[in-house]
Amino acid sequence: QVRLVESGGGLVQAGDSLRLSCVGSGRTFSGYAMGWFRQAPGKEREFVAATSWRGSIKYYAESVKGRFTISRDNAKNTVYLQMSRLKPEDTAVYYCAARASATMLTTPNYDYWGQGTQVTVSS
């Protein structure tokens, strides 16, 4: 069992930056690939970014490429999502997730999920 807790969300203005954190506990955090997803009101959950368990392989949605950066610190059992040049369309609840397999990281087939943190970007 892996427990994930996100933090760092909030209300910001367009163009601002924000860093989300996700702390894992339970089973060995470093053995899991980690991903960030988001869900806006009335929309399906969508992939944002993912990283392999070593952090050497990263994937990004086209909509955030060049603006968001995923990273992880396995010594701290933490994965981060640095978001810059935020846009109103980035408004959503952001979830981190852990997956034992290193495949299909851009799909929501993850083993464990956090409870989410709200990010609201005003125009």
Which tens digits make up the pLDDT trace of 47-61? Answer: 999 999 999 999 999
Task: Tell me the pLDDT tens digit for each residue of 91-122.
Answer: 999 999 999 988 889 999 999 999 999 999 99
Q: 26: which 2 tokens?
A: 């339970």
pLDDT at 30: 77
- Average the pLDDT over 71-99 and give the result: 97
90: helix, strand or coil = helix
29: helix, strand or coil = helix
7: number of CA atoms within 13 Å, CB side? Answer: 4
How sure is the predictor about 28, in pLDDT bands with cuts at 50, 70 and 90? confident
Q: 45: which 2 tokens?
A: 């959950």
